[in-house]
C-alpha cells in the first residue's frame, strides 16, 4: 500500500472495527480524526503507538450540527479532509413483531442518516481536494437477510444504495465511494449485543473459512479501498465474511 499523507475521519472509532481502522490508516501515514460518543483514549494510545497523529472528537453522528462542527475542527487542525470511513452503527437483534417504530427510527437514524450527515458535511472538502475516498461499513446481512435483524438489514441495504448512487454523483470529482461488508465480527459490542457466544459457532459452520472474523481481518480491504491506486473502483460492495455469502 502506498504511504500517503491524507486526512481521514473514522466514525465509531472508540472500539472494535472503528478503532482498528483508525490505527491502520494512521500506520499508513494518514492523519486521523476518530469520532465517537464513547471514550477514545484507548484508540489515541494505539495510534500514538504506531507514530500517528490523532484528533479525538466526541461526536454524535445523528446530530448534524455536531457533525458540521467536527468537520470544521478537523479541517482547521489538519488543513483538509480526503477520507471518510462511516463505521458508526448499531445492530440490536429484535424480532420484527417486537420492533417498535421508535426502534426502527433509532436504527435508521444512526446506521443510515449518520453516514449521510457525515458525508454531506465532508464532501465539499473532498471536492476541493480533487481526490477522496468514502468507505461505508455495511454488513454481509444484506446478502443473507437474517430474520432477527430486519431493521438492521434494511438500514445497511439502504447504505448500499447510498453508496451506489453517490458514487455516480461524485466520480467525476476524483472521489470514490465503496461499501465494506463484514460478516459477524468478534468485537466487544458484538458479544454484548448478541450474548456470550453471539452466534459465532453457528456463523463459522456456514463459512468456507472456519475462522471467527476479527477486526484485523478487514484492515487490508479497508486499506485497499482508501489507497491512491484504487481510483477506478467505485460503487462496489466488497463482502469480507469468510465465504458465508458468495456475491
Asked if the structure places residue 111 within a domain, the reply is yes
Q: What is the CATH number of the domain that holds 164?
A: 3.40.50.720
pLDDT, one tens digit per residue, over 81-105 is 999 999 999 988 899 999 999 999 9
Asked if the structure places residue 89 within a domain, the reply is yes
Question: What percentage of the chain reaches a pLDDT higher than 90?
Answer: 75
The whole-angstrom separation of Cα 221 and Cα 235 is 15
Whole-number pLDDT of residue 3:
46
- Residue 196 binned pLDDT confidence (cut-offs 50, 70, 90): very low
Segments forming the whole domain that contains residue 152: 7-183+218-240
State the catalytic residue, choosing from 35, 78, 131, 152. 152
- Residue 113 binned pLDDT confidence (cut-offs 50, 70, 90): very high
- Sign of the Cα pseudo-torsion (23, 26, 28, 30, in order): positive
Reported pTM? 0.91
Which carries the bigger pLDDT value, residue 212 or residue 178? 178
Q: Is 152 a catalytic residue?
A: yes
pLDDT, one tens digit per residue, over 3-38 is 467 999 999 999 999 999 999 999 999 999 999 999
The total number of structural domains that make up the chain: 1
- 106-130 as b/e: b if 16+ CB within 10 A: ebbbbbbbbbbbbbebbbebbeebe
Whole-number pLDDT of residue 192:
58
Amino acid at each position: 500500500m502506498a504511504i500517503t499523507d491524507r486526512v481521514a475521519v473514522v466514525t465509531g472509532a472508540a472500539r472494535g472495527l472503528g478503532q482498528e481502522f483508525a490505527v491502520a490508516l494512521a500506520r499508513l501515514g494518514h492523519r486521523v480524526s476518530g469520532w465517537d460518543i464513547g471514550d477514545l483514549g484507548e484508540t489515541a494510545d494505539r495510534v500514538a503507538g504506531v507514530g500517528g497523529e490523532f484528533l479525538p472528537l466526541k461526536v454524535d453522528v445523528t446530530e448534524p450540527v455536531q457533525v458540521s462542527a467536527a468537520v470544521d475542527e478537523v479541517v482547521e487542525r489538519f488543513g483538509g479532509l480526503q477520507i471518510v470511513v462511516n463505521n458508526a452503527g448499531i445492530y440490536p437483534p429484535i424480532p420484527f413483531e417486537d420492533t417498535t417504530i421508535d426502534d426502527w427510527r433509532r436504527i435508521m437514524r444512526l446506521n443510515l442518516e449518520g453516514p449521510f450527515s457525515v458525508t454531506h458535511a465532508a464532501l465539499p472538502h473532498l471536492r476541493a481536494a480533487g481526490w477522496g475516498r468514502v468507505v461505508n461499513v455495511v454488513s454481509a446481512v444484506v446478502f443473507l437477510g437474517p430474520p432477527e435483524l430486519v431493521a438492521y438489514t434494511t438500514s445497511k441495504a439502504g447504505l448500499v444504495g447510498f453508496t451506489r448512487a453517490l458514487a455516480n454523483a461524485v466520480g467525476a470529482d476524483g472521489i470514490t465511494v465503496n461499501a465494506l461488508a463484514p460478516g459477524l465480527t468478534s468485537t466487544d459490542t458484538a458479544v454484548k449485543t448478541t450474548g456470550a457466544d453471539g452466534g459465532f459457532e453457528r456463523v463459522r459452520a456456514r463459512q468456507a473459512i472456519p475462522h471467527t472474523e476479527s477486526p484485523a481481518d478487514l484492515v487490508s480491504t479497508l486499506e485497499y479501498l482508501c489507497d491512491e491506486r484504487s481510483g477506478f473502483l467505485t460503487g462496489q460492495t466488497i463482502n469480507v465474511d469468510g465465504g458465508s455469502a458468495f456475491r
